[in-house]
Structure 1
Amino acid sequence: MAHVLVTGGVRSGKSRYAESLMDAQAPVSYLTPGYPADPARDAEWAARVAAHRLRRPGAWRTVETLALASELAAAGGPVLIDCLGTWLTRLLDSWQAWDADEADWLPKLSAQTGALAEAVRAHPHDVVVVTNEVGWGLVSEYRAGRVFADNLGRINQAIGAACDQVVLLVAGRPLTL
């Protein structure tokens, strides 16, 4: 049993690498917190989601959810979560938090993050979690950018601490940390 956090920049190969860590024959639960694909609303996002789905083996079950901790806890086998950046975005959207006072939503985010970290630690099967690496560039001049980077950095630290291994993808190459 392995619990692995896979991080890296956009288009670094994170998802493909994370998928390669899972047994293609096993009934993997693929938890995805991203927005549902709607080609009429966002054709590029729908194409991206479709490409991800085409790579998944037939034995894998896709679950579109924001309830990552409870879905992970309920899963009876290996789980792949892709990705924490979209999870954070959707949570902040659902709480209308982008311009709100952090005191109104930060406790909820901390609780959700803690529950997910505990679910990762407790899961008796393989867990691979995909996230985006943040903070290697300038601090955003926009509040939303700072809120995202600061909080995804905190989430990544919490989930990384709950995992046995962290792998950074750079230009498609895995670097085990």
Structure 2
Amino acid sequence: MSDVCRELILGGQKSGKSRRGEELAAAWLGRSNVHRAVLIATAQAHDDEMRARIARHRRDRALRVPGLGTVEEPLALAEAIRAQASPNTLVLVDCLTLWLTNLMMPVEGIGRSPVDIDAATDSLVSEVGAAGGPVVLIGNEIGLGVIPLGREVRAFVDALGMLNQRVAAACDRVTLMAAGLPLTLKEPG
């Protein structure tokens, strides 16, 4: 990975996306003792199952990539990237799909105003492009199945497809994960 590579890793659930991102972070950390790596986690724990899942991911990550720091930011992703990005820091975002979910489908009772998804995406793409160090973004590819019945779910699938396209265009490399295997869709150059 070059020092300013931007990579988008897409795939289905349990396809190996997060593991691939962690491997890239571990390799980055192993290249120099001045390198840092930070995960920007976008998940929110709204129920017991999600709290347990987040706790398990924290434990597993600590074992696999001990030097990986974590920042939890479910909404202000562009700002978090700006705050963490530097030439010696690899920023790992996991995941774009949860970030978009947080913006489009807030949990009842939060009382948050609607978010302009296009403007949020513009800010994200701008910060990815401006980052002075490597950025690895993880997201789900969910548009390969049947068309959902509900209007809100169709809107989400459409918005995620557009988000993935915009981020892919801003990245040097795009990798699709399936069954734990990486398939390169786009390479630098």
TM class, shorter-length: 0.7 to 0.9
Contact kept, 8 Å, 1:95 with 1:105, in 2: the verdict is: no
- Offset, 1:46: 2.4
Question: Sequence identity, in percent?
Answer: 40
Residue type matched to 2:152 in 1? A
Pairing of 1:62-101 with structure 2 (within 5 A): 62-65=70-73, 66-75=75-84, 76=86, 77-94=89-106
Q: Does 1:138 align with 2:142?
A: no
Please give the TM-score of this superposition, normalised by the length of structure 2: 0.80
1:51 partnered with 2:56: yes
Q: Which moved more, 1:166-175 or 1:22-31?
A: 22-31
Q: Which amino acid aligns with 2:94?
A: D
**SS, match of residue 80 in structure 1:** strand
Counterparts of 1:93 and 1:139, CA distance in 2: 19
After superposition, the CA RMSD in angstroms is 2.0
State the number of aligned residues: 165
Segments of 5+ residues of structure 2 without an aligned counterpart are none
| TM-score between both structures, scaled by the size of structure 1 | 0.85
- TM-superposed deviation, 1:151: 0.4
Distance change >3 Å, CA 35–CA 95, structure 1 → 2: closer
Q: 1:124 maps to what in 2?
A: 132
The residue matched to 2:132 in structure 1 has which SS?
A: coil
CA contact under 8 A between 1:168 and 1:176: conserved in structure 2? yes
Give the gaps of 5 or more residues in structure 1. 97-103
Deviation at residue 94 of structure 1 after TM alignment:
3.6
1:29-48 matches, within 5 Å, as 29-36=38-45, 41-42=47-48, 44-48=49-53
Question: Which amino acid in the other structure matches residue 95 of structure 2?
Answer: C
Distance in 2 separating the partners of 1:58 and 1:82: 17
Rounded to whole Å, the distance in 2 between the matches of 1:95 and 1:5 is 27
Supply the AA of the counterpart residue of 2:8.
L
